[in-house]
Amino acid sequence: MSLNYYTYKEIKQQPKVWLEACEILLQRKDEIKAFIDKYTSEGFEIVMTGAGTSAYIGDALETALFDTPFRGARAIATTDILTAPEFYFNKDSKVILISFARSGNSPESIGAVKAAEATAGRIAHIFITCNAEGQLAARKGDNILCILLPPETNDLSLAMTSSYSTMLLSCSMIANIDNLEKDKEYIATLSKCVEAAMEKYEADIEKIARRDFKRAIFLGSGPLQGVAEESRLKLQELTDGAVMCAFDSFLGFRHGPKALVNPESLMVYLISPIERIRRYELDLIRQIQASNNVKASVVVCIKDPGVESDLTIELGFTEDMPACYGCVAYVFAAQMLGMFKSINSGLSPDSPSVSGNISRVVEGVTLYI
């Protein structure tokens, strides 16, 4: 199988660009720390925003940042801020708005910034973006901190892969900026483990992609529920919607959404590294195994939890990896699964939308501000 695709290159480059992003942030540590300290000392709340995949970064980090100085940061999509900023901000609001943007050119990215500025009493911006030529990167001001990630993270493929993971990881490193020299060891371990896992399991993931599943369900707890949300989108958009996908938490899945499980389903379980959480997850997996017939099941974990599956992907790092770093390791499984399923379906993973329903940068949005 030929893998001469941007998508493949951009998935595989992730461990490398994570290390590069860490170096970029270390070089700017004093500047970043001074900016954050200036506003947090005045009681500014932190809001993370983006659209689609970029919004899902915030959804994962809301819980992943629980043991960092960014604990309590809220995730609000640009698409929500743009339509009704008054739902979230007023003249008394003091906000650090962290905007995630691959291109920095989507209408919602620009519109949400303007809407927030017009609604919140005081606002500061952190732009985490992959495109030095984007409209967000071009904005200047004393209340703006722009973090430009390695240029190769500006994914050329339709699907966001290295842009997603590197923006998520960079925000996590910014949240831990005081300890980033020490945390550099975590990033190095993460990079090494994911690179090894990609190499070890690539052929096995391709075999799962050959199975004739029509729907796929991704489950995770806490930060991994946010990663499941992004994983769901990767498989769905890379197959142009031919595989319908869903995500949920393990415990929430029992309350109605479990009706989705049928013999044409692929189940993907993102297993928590926290033993207390993992007990609930394994109970559900065993229940599904006992009462449901599915096309295949995949377990992604730091260490084999001892449940039966068609593929168990072990990431290899230990439980002491901070959640805000470790959660990003799980997403490559869905990225590869989506890419291989796209090829298997006769599509190009770089531009899978034969229908034309989606594009690399969203078009056709009129800004009413």
> Using CA atoms, how far apart are residues 37 and 39, in angstroms rounded to an integer?
6
For residue 157, the model assigns a pLDDT of 94
One domain, residues 219 and 241: yes
Specify if 72 maps to a domain.
yes
Shared domain for 295 and 204, answered yes or no, is yes
Same domain, 44 and 140: yes
Same domain, 112 and 46: yes
Asked if pLDDT for residue 358 goes beyond 70, the answer is no
Element (H, E) at 84: none
Full residue range of the structural domain in which residue 208 is found: 185-344
Q: Which residue has the tokens 């291989």?
A: 340
CA of residue 193 relative to chain centroid, distance: 18
pLDDT at 3: 87
Same domain? 320 vs 210:
yes
- The domain tally of the chain equals 2
Asked if residue 367 belongs to a domain, the reply is: no
Q: Which two tokens stand for residue 319?
A: 């439980």
* 63 contacts 92 by C-beta, under 8 angstroms: no
Band (108; pLDDT cuts 50, 70, 90): confident
Residues of 195-217 as b/e, b for ≥16 C-beta within 10 angstroms?
Answer: bebbeebbeebbebbeeebebbb
Q: Does 326 fall in a domain?
A: yes
Residues 69 and 142 in one domain: yes
Domain containing residue 55: CATH number: 3.40.50.10490
The verdict on 144 and 34 lying in the same domain is yes
Task: Specify the pLDDT at position 2.
Answer: 66
Residues 6+ apart with CB under 8 A from 34: none
Among candidate residues 154, 183, 212, the one where a domain is terminated: 183
3-state secondary structure of 364: coil
Q: Is 86 exposed, middle or buried (0-12, 13-18, 19+ CB in 10 A)?
A: exposed
For the residues of 96-142, what is the DSSP string, one character each? EEEEEESSS--HHHHHHHHHHHHHSSEEEEEEEES-TTSHHHH---T
In a domain, 349, yes or no: no
Q: Specify if 1 maps to a domain.
A: no
Q: Both 27 and 143 in a single domain?
A: yes
Residue 37: the pLDDT is 97
Q: Are residues 202 and 264 in the same domain?
A: yes
Q: Percent of the chain scored above 70 by pLDDT?
A: 95
Residue 46 lies in a domain: yes
Check if the beta carbon of residue 78 is closer than 8 Å to that of residue 99.
Answer: yes
Query: What is the model's pLDDT at position 286?
Result: 96
In this structure, are residues 162 and 17 in contact, taking their beta carbons and an 8 Å threshold?
yes
359 inside domain: no
Q: Can you give the pLDDT at residue 351?
A: 86
Residues 189 and 224 in one domain: yes
Q: Is the pLDDT of residue 137 over 90?
A: yes
pLDDT of residue 364: 58
Average pLDDT score over residue span 105-117: 91
Contact of 35 with 96, CB cutoff 8 Å: no
Q: Kindly calculate the radius of gyration of the chain based on its CA atoms and give it in whole angstroms.
A: 20
Same domain, 99 and 205: no
Model pLDDT for residues 195-251, shown as the tens digit of each residue: 999 999 999 999 999 999 999 999 999 999 999 999 999 999 999 999 999 999 999
Is 362 within the bounds of a domain?
no
* Interatomic CA distance for residues 219 and 246, integer angstroms: 9
Mean pLDDT of the chain: 95
Q: What per-residue confidence (pLDDT) applies to 336?
A: 98
Q: Is the pLDDT of residue 111 over 70?
A: yes
pLDDT tens readout for residues 150-162: 999 999 998 999 9
| pLDDT value at residue 363 | 60
Q: What is the mean pLDDT of residues 342-368?
A: 74
